[in-house]
Amino acid sequence: MLPDLAAIEAAAAVVYRALPPTPQFAWPLLDEKLGLRAWIKHENHLPVGAFKVRGGLVYMEALQRRLPGLKGVIAATRGNHGQSIAFAAGRLGIPVTIVVPEGNSREKNAAMRALGATLIEQGEDFFACRLHALDLAERQGLHMVPSYHNDLVAGVATGYLELLRAQPGIEVLFVPIGQGSGICAALAARDALGLATRIVGVVSAHAPAYLHSYQAGRCLEAPVSTVLADGLACRAPDPASLKAMLGKLEAIVAVTDDEVARAMRLYFRTTHNLAEGAGAAALAAALQLRGRLPAGCTIGLPLTGANVDASLFARVLEGP
C-alpha cells in the first residue's frame, strides 16, 4: 500500500528539518518549444542535486528509531540513491558504504566520497553491484538499504505533494522510472490529494524492463545499454514497486538516448538548468508525445537530477 496523506505529511516534517521545498516554474521558451504549458519541478535544486535525498532522510531517521546502535548501512547505486543515503546517514553519524558499478560516473563517485561514504566499485551493472552489496552486508553486519521502500516513497512523495498542491490543474504528469520510488511517490501524492492527474511513466528505450513488466503484469528482466540515462538503467524491476503501479498509470513511454540528449540541451538552452539524463527523461517523453496531447494541456515535468559528468554534458551540448 502506498503512503497516504498523513504519512506523506509526517515525512515532510522530517524532510523540511534538513532542506526547503523546491520551486516549480513555467519557462516561456520551453512552453514555446512544447506548444503547451509545462510546470518544471526543480528537484535539481536540492543539496545533492537530485530528488532522492528526500527519501533518504525519511528512511534513515525511521531506521535509526527501529535499529538503535546500528553498526552501519550499505547501499547499491548508480549515484543519486547513494548520495541520498550518505547525506542522510552523515547527519545522524551513521557510517555508510556505497557500492557502485565499475565505470560509474566519476563525479557522482566523488560526490559520495565527499559526503563521507566508503565507496566500492564492483560489478558490470547495478544488478551485479547490488549482489555484491548484499554479500558485504551479510559478512560485515551492515544494514542493506533497499532501492524501494515505503519510507523512501513517502519522502520522495513530499516533492510531488508540493508540485500538485501548487499546481492542481496539471493534467498529465511525466515521471521517470528507475527502481520505482519516484513513480510510486507521484501516484501516492496524486491519490492523497484526490486529483485526477494522469501519470505517464518514462523508461529508457535501452533499459525497458519496467515497460515490458508493466505490459505483462509481472516482473521481467531486460538488457541495459543506455549510456546517457544511468538513473534509468534497470535490468530487473522491484516487485513491490511494480505491484504498486500496475493499473494506475496512463502509460509508460520509452525514450532513446538521442531523445534524452535533445531534452538535456533544451533544458539548458531554454532555462539554463542542468539536467542529467534521467533528469531530462520526462521532458524527452513530453516532446515525443506533444502531438498527441490536447491543445492547451498543462503538464508537469520533474527535473529529477543534475548530476552529470562535465565531459559527458559537453558532448551532449555539442549535438544539434
Going along the chain from its start, the domains and CATH numbers come out as 5-50+150-317 (3.40.50.1100), 53-144 (3.40.50.1100)
- Mean pLDDT estimate for the chain: 96
Q: Is 91 exposed, middle or buried (0-12, 13-18, 19+ CB in 10 A)?
A: middle
Per-residue pLDDT reduced to its tens digit, 36-85? 999 999 999 999 999 999 999 999 999 999 998 899 999 999 889 999 99
| Cα(29)–Cα(32) distance, integer angstroms | 5
Residue-level pLDDT at 295: 85
Task: Give the SS3 label for residue 174.
Answer: strand
| Cα(224)–Cα(232) distance, integer angstroms | 9
Contact at 8 Å (CB) between 22 and 47?
no
Per-residue pLDDT reduced to its tens digit, 85-129? 999 999 999 999 999 999 998 899 999 999 999 999 999 888 899
Grid cell for residue 270: 531554454
**Please, which residues have CB within 8 angstroms of residue 266's CB and are 6 or more apart in sequence?**
30, 33, 280, 283, 287
**255 falls in which pLDDT band (50, 70, 90)?**
very high
Share of the chain above pLDDT 90, in %: 93
Residue-level pLDDT at 320: 79
Per-residue pLDDT reduced to its tens digit, 119-151? 999 998 888 999 999 999 999 999 999 999 999
Residue-level pLDDT at 133: 96
Q: How far is CA 54 from CA 59, 83, 153, in A?
A: 9, 11, 9
Note if the pTM is more than 0.85: yes
